[in-house]
Amino acid sequence: MKIPTAMDDSSVSHHNGGQVGSELGVNVNNKQNEESSQSVQYSIPGILHFIQHEWARFELERSQWEVDRAEFEARIAFLQGERKGQENLKNDLVRRIKMLEYALKQERAKFHKLKYGVELQQGDMCPPPEEQSEIGYTDTILDIRSNRVRTLLGVNSDDQAEDPNYRNCEKQHYSTNTALNRKMMMYDEAAYREQRRKGASSGYNEEGLSVQDTAAVFANFEFLANQEMDMDEIEDIEAKQSHHSSIKGEEVDHEAEEVINELNMLTETEADGGGQGDEYVDEKPLALGELAQLTVSNEPEAYDVAGASKESFRKTWNPKYTLRSHFDVVRAVAFHPTEPALVTASEDHTLKLWNLQRTVPAKKSAGLDVEPLYTFRAHTAPVICLAMGAPRTEECFSAGVDGTIRVWNLPSLTADPYDPYDASVQGPVLREHSDAVWSLAAAAGRVLSSSADGTSVLRVSCPSPASRVRCHPSLPVLVTAHEDHHIRFWDAVSGRCAHTMVAHLDAVTGLALDPNGIFLLSGSHDCSVRLWNLDTKTCVQEITAHRKKFDEGILDVAFHPMRPYIASAGADGLAKNLCQNRPSLCFTKKKNILDVLSTFVLFFMYKINH
Amino acid sequence: MSDSVKILRRNRPGSKAKDFCRWPDQPFEEMDNTLAVQQLIQQTIRKDPSNLVAILKMPEAQEEGVWKYEHLRQFCMELNGLTVMLQGECKPEICTQMTATEQWIFLCAAHKTPKECPAIDYTRHTLDGAACLLNSNKYFPSRVSVRDSSVGKLGSVCRRVYRIFSHAYFHHRSIFDAFEKETHLCKRFTYFVTKYSIISKEILILPNLDDEVPINQPVGESEA
């Protein structure tokens, strides 16, 4: 009860504003009054609270004052810049006059030459000394002439036309020029900051460009025309600057402490003519590092794509995990649509779910490898093919020699492998086929299967039966893998074979396209996984990671739709340990992450069209 | 078989289920890859799953450790079939404990502290744990040679795996019989563990499975 009243008092006094001392006095009086009335009136917390309030107010005032100071400092910097700019302009005008005089003299000489053929020599003789004296007077003109004047001549004529204009709006030009000059300074002193700002807000791109332009202009004396063009922009920018500073002022009111800390930076910013002090970073090297990134990110997209593809060109895939837990040939592998997880299907009649980010802490036997998260048991014969459902459905389809297609609800990726049996993982069973199912494709909750019983089998007329068909994620191109060691490319529109290449030393069994459609991954019974550039149709990388069982090597390959993983499923294990031969998977990781595009949807659509 | 044409032992896409892995036998001597033992075992089983003697007849000059290891892998793999059938019937509410006879309750060793899992969980966890152990890089880094110390691990796996058979036998007899009729797995397993003395005879609690299994004296003797 009492303390709140004390608080009210302090807040009231706070609102009163004015001198602190008197307030304190008033407050003390109040206190005394209340003390006299009720002896247990003032507790220490109440007093402390009051003091804290006062302190906060002082801090606020101080920060306000600091902000004012910063603004004044900025103003000073601005005025200094203006003065410097005027000086520069004066020099430039002088130079310009000289240049025009020189041009005029040249014109006169030419005219002289044409008009009086006789006095030609004399005329010729006369101007040079003048010219030389002129050139001697302005050294830079000579350089510029040799370098640029020819290109500038067109501009020059404009300049001359604009000359009266120029004089008329001299005042405007002056202000413009000061702005330009300020920019020059910025460019010299703190080019990185300027560019940072450019990167920080895309709206500032123009400004950054204009800064560069003006720098060039100043060096080359061709400022007039550009000035005209820059005028509007500059005024805009100045408006922005003032806008920014006003906003900043408000922010400062709200966040006094922060502003105090950032005051130095703030003044710099103001001197630079705007920007948001809050976002600046103290360390110059850091800023430069970010600058580099930002400038890169400002590049056109086309370049980015090229760069990315080049980069990924150079990057190679390295084995990351070996997934061992199957007792027999791993027939198929499919990635989770979003998570770094995958499902494998094996001839040991089981499917296994692996979470690549959760390497199960070494149980007595696990070692460093990934342990499967879940074992799906329902098939009574080797499982041959797998398909992942649409993202977020957490559905997975599997089918195999037993002719059933089974739907699985993937358990949570954080589940423990030794959790109690959960019957809900096993979804419905589709018994549409009477014989082994060899291929599955899923899209939007529907699944398409092709079976050895002769139903819904895709046929492409080619010399050798296709063992895999994949669709390009964005182009109407089909890629097929063949037993005659070939990979063939098809135009999905015309149905014609676009390209054929011998890709492996043995039958090609697995195909996968990366989600960007830049790379093709193929696996073969020759135990090698090859990465191809789809553009050039050249092999970028070869990975030999599996061993044979009977005459089978690699049976499937896959790209993760979002994450930098590829996987290969084989009859067998690692190439690193020659004696290791167990059904397993080899893993590789790439650094740049690719976008998502649905291969399956297109695949699906193609099948319907035919 | 005509050797003039090179035989490719391969499951081509689109093969019929009955043609799956149906290729001419390859003599063990001609198997030049590192999975020869598994190939041989699977090849013999495929020919006649009831011919236990042939299946467990170890080729000469074969290292016994690898032979046992590969057989145990095969057992665990084929036990998946029994598990699938049990999943339909052996509910955790009914078989709340892993028992065979009333004598013992088996605790699941897959957990940090052994746990009284329901029978179906025990089965799954045991098989998962066995898969983990048998594929472990630490204990079984190679499939052409197995260390003696690792061979010792096989015994405990066998003991636990045998409990799956016994639970099925005593509690889900119809499933057990159907499975056994098709695969002869329990008979083969009993023959295997007896032949190589992996499990002591006292633990083998199942009665002699049937009369018609004839030829193998070791089984007959041990279970008589």
* Domain assignments of chain B as residue spans, ordered by start: 33-195
Report whether B172 belongs to an annotated binding site: yes
Contact yes or no for A327 and B74 at CB 8 A: yes
For residue B224, give how far its alpha carbon lies from the nearest alpha carbon of chain A (Å).
Answer: 33
Tens-place pLDDT, residues A275-334: 343 444 344 444 344 433 433 333 333 333 344 444 444 556 777 777 778 888 888 888
Q: Please state which CATH class domain B33-195 belongs to.
A: mainly alpha
Per-residue pLDDT at A343 exceeds 70? yes
Contact yes or no for B17 and A552 at CB 8 A: no
Per-residue pLDDT at B135 exceeds 80? yes
- Closest by Cα among A446, A444, A441 to A390: A444
Contact yes or no for B84 and A438 at CB 8 A: no
For residue B158, give how far its alpha carbon lies from the nearest alpha carbon of chain A (Å).
Answer: 16
Contact yes or no for A420 and B133 at CB 8 A: no
Confidence tier at A440 by pLDDT (50, 70, 90): confident
This model of the complex carries an ipTM of: 0.79
Q: Does A473 touch chain B (CB under 8 A)?
A: no
Per-residue pLDDT at A471 exceeds 60? yes
* Nearest-Cα residue of chain B relative to residue A583: B135
Report whether B90 belongs to an annotated binding site: yes
Tens-place pLDDT, residues B31-43: 777 788 888 888 8
* Nearest-Cα residue of chain A relative to residue B153: A365
Q: Is A604 helix (H, G, I), strand (E, B) or coil?
A: helix
Contact A355, A373 (CB under 8 A): yes
Contact yes or no for B12 and A483 at CB 8 A: yes
Per-residue pLDDT at B194 exceeds 70? yes
Tens-place pLDDT, residues A526-538: 888 888 888 888 8
Task: Say which residues have a Cβ less than 8 Å from residue A341's Cβ, sequence separation at least 6.
Answer: A335, A353, A354, A355, A356, A357, A373, A413
Query: Quick one: pLDDT at residue B113?
Result: 82
* Cα A196 to Cα A293: distance, rounded to the nearest angstrom: 10
For residue B61, give how far its alpha carbon lies from the nearest alpha carbon of chain A (Å).
Answer: 18
Tens-place pLDDT, residues A255-264: 444 544 544 4
Question: Which segments within A318-381 are labelled E, that is strand?
Answer: 318-324, 330-335, 341-346, 350-355, 374-377
Q: Does A571 touch chain B (CB under 8 A)?
A: yes
Contact A389, A395 (CB under 8 A): yes
- Nearest beta carbon to residue B141 from set A402, A420, A577: A577
Q: Give the mean model confidence (pLDDT) for residues B50-56.
A: 85
Quote the pTM value.
0.51
Query: Quick one: pLDDT at residue A67?
Result: 93
Tens-place pLDDT, residues B65-89: 888 898 999 999 889 889 988 888 8
Looking at residue A573, its amino acid is G
Considering only residues A22 and A577, tell me which one the structure prediction assigns the higher pLDDT: A22
Q: Does A452 touch chain B (CB under 8 A)?
A: yes
Rounded percentage of chain B residues whose pLDDT exceeds 70: 90
Considering only residues A38 and A302, tell me which one the structure prediction assigns the higher pLDDT: A38
For residue B149, give how far its alpha carbon lies from the nearest alpha carbon of chain A (Å).
Answer: 14
CA-to-CA separations, A498 to A33, A327, A470, A481, in angstroms, rounded: 99, 41, 15, 14
Query: Quick one: pLDDT at residue A454?
Result: 55
CB contacts, 8 Å: A525 with chain B: 10
Per-residue pLDDT at A98 exceeds 90? yes
- Closest by Cα among A414, A378, A424 to A398: A378
Interface A-B: count of C-beta contacts within 8 A = 157
**Second-level CATH architecture of A317-458:** 7 Propeller (2.130)
Contact yes or no for B80 and A582 at CB 8 A: no
Query: Quick one: pLDDT at residue A581?
Result: 30
Query: Quick one: pLDDT at residue B102?
Result: 77
Query: Quick one: pLDDT at residue A491?
Result: 73
Chain A residues 370-399 with a CB less than 8 Å from chain B: 371-372, 375, 377-382
Q: Is A272 helix (H, G, I), strand (E, B) or coil?
A: helix
Contact yes or no for B12 and A379 at CB 8 A: no
Radius of gyration in angstroms for the set of CA atoms belonging to chain B, rounded to a whole number: 18
Tens-place pLDDT, residues A454-468: 544 333 334 455 566
Query: Quick one: pLDDT at residue A557?
Result: 82
Classify residue A7 as left (phi > 0), alpha (psi -120 to 50) or beta.
alpha
- Nearest beta carbon to residue B20 from set A436, A468, A572: A436
Averaged pLDDT score across all residues of chain A: 62
Q: Give the mean model confidence (pLDDT) for residues B160-188.
A: 89
Task: Say which residues have a Cβ less than 8 Å from residue A305's Cβ, sequence separation at least 6.
Answer: none
- Nearest beta carbon to residue B77 from set A324, A348, A467: A348
Averaged pLDDT score across all residues of chain B: 81
